[in-house]
């Protein structure tokens, strides 16, 4: 094999890898600050037996935006009109960005959703109703919800940590992205507004896993 043939093989392999990556792209969504509430906190903030009102479905099956809004308060500042996402959960959780933690005055860790042990608490308010969580405030770890079928295509396993290149006005490679696989999911990557602004994404932006 001469040098030209060898070079052509290398170019073909690079092109093939790029095409495979492009075929396995997924939508990247920016997620703003929001709250997941348990039955205990719903009762305390809105009244016993109160049912959250669904107004819009989210990309993940069964998840939805609620009409109800609350205030999230810390020692230094607060956020009003914070969206509640349904359905209700077994444990309340508040997800904010790093910038938000500085405004609240609470040093929240980066965690996967649901892994709230040892996290700081925060105060939730709805009018005169006030609830102070003992824990549950997190900065959500960037992640990909993925179907088993798409996991096979991308050759990844559940809880695997990957790099993802996200296209935007300022394309960016995100490290330390956790893959979460379930037949209950639709394949989307979720990042917060700090991360979204860093790469200048707009609605419909795509990303792909780097190998």
Contacts of 152 (CB under 8 A, 6+ apart): none
Q: Are 165 and 131 in contact (CB under 8 A)?
A: no
- Give residue 14's pLDDT band: very low, low, confident or very high (50, 70, 90): very low
pLDDT digit string, tens, across residues 32-91: 999 999 999 999 999 999 999 999 999 999 999 999 999 999 999 999 999 999 999 999
Q: Are 201 and 28 in contact (CB under 8 A)?
A: yes
pTM of the full predicted structure?
A: 0.87
Nearest-angstrom CA–CA distance, 168 and 190: 15
DSSP class of 75: S
pLDDT of residue 22: 56
Residue 162 has pLDDT above 90, yes or no: yes
Phi then psi for 21, rounded to 5 degrees?
A: -65, -45
Contacts of 90 (CB under 8 A, 6+ apart): 38
Nearest-angstrom CA–CA distance, 97 and 107: 11
Paired tokens of 154: 């991308």
């Amino acid at each position: 094999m001469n040098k030209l043939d060898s070079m052509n093989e290398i170019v073909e392999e690079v092109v093939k890898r790029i095409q495979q990556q492009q075929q396995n792209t997924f939508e990247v969504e920016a997620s703003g600050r929001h709250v997941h509430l348990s039955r205990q906190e719903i009762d305390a903030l809105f009244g016993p037996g109160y049912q959250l009102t669904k107004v819009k479905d989210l990309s993940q099956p069964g998840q939805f935006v609620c009409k109800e809004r609350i205030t999230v308060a810390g020692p230094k500042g607060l956020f009003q009109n914070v969206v509640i996402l349904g359905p209700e959960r077994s444990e309340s959780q508040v997800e904010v960005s790093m910038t938000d933690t500085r405004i609240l005055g609470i040093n929240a860790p980066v965690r996967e959703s649901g892994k709230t042990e040892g996290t700081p608490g925060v105060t939730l308010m709805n009018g005169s109703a006030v609830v102070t969580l003992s824990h549950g405030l997190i900065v959500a770890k960037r992640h990909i919800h993925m179907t088993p079928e798409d996991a096979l295509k991308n050759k990844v396993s559940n809880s695997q940590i990957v790099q993802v290149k996200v296209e935007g006005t300022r394309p960016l490679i995100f490290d330390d992205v956790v893959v979460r696989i379930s037949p209950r999911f639709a394949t989307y990557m979720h990042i917060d507004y700090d991360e979204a602004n860093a790469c200048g994404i707009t609605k419909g932006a795509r990303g792909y896993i780097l190998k």
